[in-house]
Structure 1
């Protein structure tokens, strides 16, 4: 489909979905998923090499999602002043720089330098998510916005699986677990061994750099629709200030509920994925990090299937009703993870990831759609992305709980409570939908 055949409406939505542009945009989702899933590998690696507590190891996620939080508003301002495409190109640029910083980080072998590299990488991903999530929902008819974003998000787990495979075979090595190997060495030998292990952390990022350069070039040479709201004269509406937007959004209770739900959801998802490998290593002392990372592959396969099944169900039933049922079962799965005395709790964590599948995209699209005046769309989308900062706080909270009570497994009560709160949000949305349907 040629761009000249696509009509843009005043609210920024399109008459038809441009297939190639939408596909290229959706390619960004697995790209940032790969970076996020590599964090789960790094947390396990750094804990052993740097002798970190569970709380300190979770700072990987704090650096990562802290970058998201700080850059979301600047990314929205860039979109307002330029275009979604420019913001995406900026994000890809920072992503490349962040990956490149793993070269000095692996040579310096200091935890702080790795956190800097992860933070810069996250700046790029914040640009990408702030633009791509909103852009995906706008790139076609309005009534299919939620489905469109869920389709883009469906390929996210593919990137997650690729990230784990890169970590499994390029970062983790054969043999016993790092902790077991290092426990049998002298202090100096353990330090030298740890420094050698850190050299492997660079390997996945070399491949990511090559892929990112190709994608960057494709975006440069491809024409994309603006998808920005227009005033009555047909001019792009971009003169709304941030304070004015915040004042408008502060009066929108549905938007505020969505922000809180997204904060809790992202924190829950991140903390489960951050500690699944650690959970497996805790429950089975005889497996290595490489073997334990296989369960993360199962996790992301389940996540993918959960999205696919949810997309099917949401075509037949109300989306919030589907997600409410997902939340109930997910809460029970995480409760099992917390209380089960055996290795089956790892499989229950995988089941929970199946139920995570459609949550992010549905909360995002519904929260964004609650903003009726579309001249506030770019900043509203950025604020929803800022809610990703839940991934900086809740994993650290679970790490703190684990250190305090001395049980990684019992600390899963933290995401269990989070899923219950997300379920309450979907229940309230389901009730609101039913009331709106009755009124109409």
Structure 2
């Protein structure tokens, strides 16, 4: 047997990484990054055009991440019954349908129709993330799984940057901010202006549709390994009953804590990115949305840099220690962003994205590793994707805090507390690892 022959081991992992297939799976990560960052742009636009409160504008994220939550388990079941490739193709198709719904939404000019389009996009992305995150782990040796998913996740911010740039140049315009322009218009002029602005949202999604169709065709034409555990492949019933899976994983305290931490982290990441643009406009009312979008782009550049730094550090140092230190610094930076009333607060909100670098893939990979029975890997992966609902809950909470206190800046105290929880989680994980090593030494 050739050393280059790809074989699936009993636990579902491969003996070597098929490069072409791994690259194509990695290409999916920037695709959902673009969709997520466009949400940050849409929040600022919809708030003004539809005259929404901060709380109501956050429903963009609620609809988006709500779709993730609802469809994660059906996506895992689709993986289990069919394959990772078919689930990915299904996700790409739903993504395309959701993007296409921006055409009627922009002409109907109703907030609800846009939320429906975003919800459909999220269903597609739920399929993609449920399958691609776990698939990236399995496409190679098990001992390199965390490094593989960190490398794949490194390309997420590239898509996020692309999405923000598309929003900056195709959705927003030069001149005064939307709020200032609409403040001097009568009702009829404001309605017409709002309709024109909403129709500008179509262009980024047309570009996405073209890219998605090309990627979907590639996945349909190229052969991919199944990466299914041997005992599951041989079983006549390769599905995991919902109650059975939930009961099994509910007894796994380490897994439950990992899911809660991922929920908190997704809330943290989404709140900061959702409201950085609004923070810039509030701190400096003389700038417009197109200029303020630069801070969103800078955030994704910082995130991209942070991913590379994290990948290097994770290969040399204990992941729990790195995440604990990162989170502690994040608490300090976000406290600064919440309390210092000048433009430096916006740069603090931008900088904190550097610290997001290792969070999602490390929490995901380490939590999946806590599942002892490979039969439940897809189900566990789906539960972790469901934890993305944190991205629906926390922005709404931050928007509510901003409305109550009349300060977008003060509301950044919400993600600060999220980072505090994550610091405590990784402190506990590191402490348990140290104690476990001491026990092993004593036993030997």
Q: What is the TM-score of this pair, normalised by structure 1? A: 0.98
User: Contact 1:49–1:194 at 8 Å: present in 2 too?
Assistant: yes
Counterparts of 1:301 and 1:3 in 2: how far apart (Å)?
39
Q: Deviations over 1:246-273 (max 9, x none)?
A: 1100100000000100000001100100
User: Contact 1:12–1:374 at 8 Å: present in 2 too?
Assistant: yes
User: Contact 1:10–1:234 at 8 Å: present in 2 too?
Assistant: no
User: Matches of residues 315-334 of structure 1 in structure 2 within 5 Å?
Assistant: 315-334=315-334
Give the aligned partner of residue 185 of structure 1: 185
Give the aligned partner of residue 388 of structure 2: 388
Counterparts of 1:237 and 1:365 in 2: how far apart (Å)?
27
224-233 or 422-431, larger mean C-alpha shift: 224-233
User: Contact 1:136–1:149 at 8 Å: present in 2 too?
Assistant: yes
Please give the secondary structure, in 1, of the residue aligned with 2:201.
helix
Counterparts of 1:288 and 1:217 in 2: how far apart (Å)?
40
Please give the secondary structure, in 1, of the residue aligned with 2:148.
helix
Give the aligned partner of residue 291 of structure 1: 291
- Is residue 2:158 matched to residue 1:152? no
Deviation of 1:147 after TM superposition, in Å, equals 0.9
Counterparts of 1:143 and 1:267 in 2: how far apart (Å)?
29
Give the aligned partner of residue 130 of structure 2: 130
User: Matches of residues 52-91 of structure 1 in structure 2 within 5 Å?
Assistant: 52-91=52-91
- Is residue 2:376 matched to residue 1:348? no
Give the aligned partner of residue 107 of structure 1: 107
Please give the secondary structure, in 2, of the residue aligned with 1:9.
coil
Deviation of 1:439 after TM superposition, in Å, equals 2.9
User: Matches of residues 26-45 of structure 1 in structure 2 within 5 Å?
Assistant: 26-45=26-45
Counterparts of 2:232 and 2:343 in 1: how far apart (Å)?
62
Deviation of 1:434 after TM superposition, in Å, equals 1.7
User: Contact 1:231–1:237 at 8 Å: present in 2 too?
Assistant: no
**Compared CA separation, residues 349 and 125, structure 1 to 2 (3 A):** same
Please give the secondary structure, in 2, of the residue aligned with 1:287.
coil
User: Contact 1:230–1:237 at 8 Å: present in 2 too?
Assistant: no
Counterparts of 1:8 and 1:41 in 2: how far apart (Å)?
43
**Compared CA separation, residues 205 and 232, structure 1 to 2 (3 A):** closer
Give the aligned partner of residue 277 of structure 1: 277
Q: Deviations over 1:371-426 (max 9, x none)?
A: 01000011100000000000001000000000001000001000000000011111
Deviation of 1:5 after TM superposition, in Å, equals 0.6
User: Contact 2:4–2:16 at 8 Å: present in 1 too?
Assistant: no
User: Contact 2:232–2:238 at 8 Å: present in 1 too?
Assistant: no
Counterparts of 1:43 and 1:371 in 2: how far apart (Å)?
37
Q: Please tell me the root mean square deviation across aligned C-alpha atoms, in Å.
A: 1.4
Q: How many residues align?
A: 439
Counterparts of 1:131 and 1:23 in 2: how far apart (Å)?
15
Give the aligned partner of residue 402 of structure 1: 402
Q: Deviations over 1:103-132 (max 9, x none)?
A: 000010100000000000100000000000
**Compared CA separation, residues 349 and 438, structure 1 to 2 (3 A):** same
Give the aligned partner of residue 195 of structure 1: 195
Counterparts of 2:244 and 2:230 in 1: how far apart (Å)?
18
**Compared CA separation, residues 202 and 3, structure 1 to 2 (3 A):** farther
Please give the secondary structure, in 1, of the residue aligned with 2:365.
helix
User: Contact 1:17–1:139 at 8 Å: present in 2 too?
Assistant: yes
Deviation of 1:344 after TM superposition, in Å, equals 0.1
Please give the secondary structure, in 2, of the residue aligned with 1:231.
helix
Q: Deviations over 1:86-107 (max 9, x none)?
A: 1100000000000000000001
Runs of 4+ in 1 over 4 A off after TM superposition: 232-237
**5+ residue gaps in structure 1?**
none
Deviation of 1:235 after TM superposition, in Å, equals 5.7
User: Contact 1:330–1:351 at 8 Å: present in 2 too?
Assistant: no
User: Contact 2:136–2:152 at 8 Å: present in 1 too?
Assistant: yes
Counterparts of 1:237 and 1:299 in 2: how far apart (Å)?
46
Q: Deviations over 1:173-221 (max 9, x none)?
A: 1111000000011122111111111010111000000000000000011
User: Contact 1:102–1:114 at 8 Å: present in 2 too?
Assistant: yes
Give the aligned partner of residue 5 of structure 1: 5
**Compared CA separation, residues 236 and 170, structure 1 to 2 (3 A):** farther
Q: What is the TM-score of this pair, normalised by structure 2? A: 0.97
